[in-house]
Amino acid sequence: MEIKDILIIAKEFVDNPGARDREDGSNSGQQFLEDLFVSRFDKAVEGNYIILVDLTGVLGYPSSFVSGSFGKLSIERGSEILLKHLRFKSNNNPLNVDKVINEIKNPTPPKK
């Protein structure tokens, strides 16, 4: 498979991601997932291609944002399909890539 889409979070969403849920404030992981990411991901699965998710240009990714977006989708769809259709890069902090991949592999269960 080849990369056919690039999602630059700092440019297409925000450079200061927020918390997990919309009710927790602006720029939440839920907002990113529902308003931007899931439709792009579904197109990649349908078209059998990879999205390069560029994490560069963001000061930091709160764990609640990562679990409310990538983790939630991993719980819903399974880590295998996410890791098949997603690649990540971060020019300013490679640990952000590790953080997201770890959340996909070991998603934080939602609080009840």
State pLDDT tens for residues 12-63.
999 999 999 999 999 999 999 999 999 999 999 999 999 999 999 998 899 9
| 43's tokens | 């197109």
Question: In this predicted structure, what is the pLDDT of residue 38?
Answer: 97
Helix (H) or strand (E) holding 6: strand 3-8
Q: Does residue 95 surpass a pLDDT of 90? A: yes
Question: In this predicted structure, what is the pLDDT of residue 112?
Answer: 58
Residues 6+ apart with CB under 8 A from 17: 9, 27, 28, 29, 32, 58, 61, 62, 65
41 and 35 Cβ atoms separated by less than 8 Å: no
Average pLDDT for the chain: 95
Confidence (pTM): 0.94
Average pLDDT over residues 84-109: 95
Q: Does residue 105 surpass a pLDDT of 90? A: yes
Residue among 16, 43, 41 at smallest CA distance from 29: 16
* Band (110; pLDDT cuts 50, 70, 90): confident
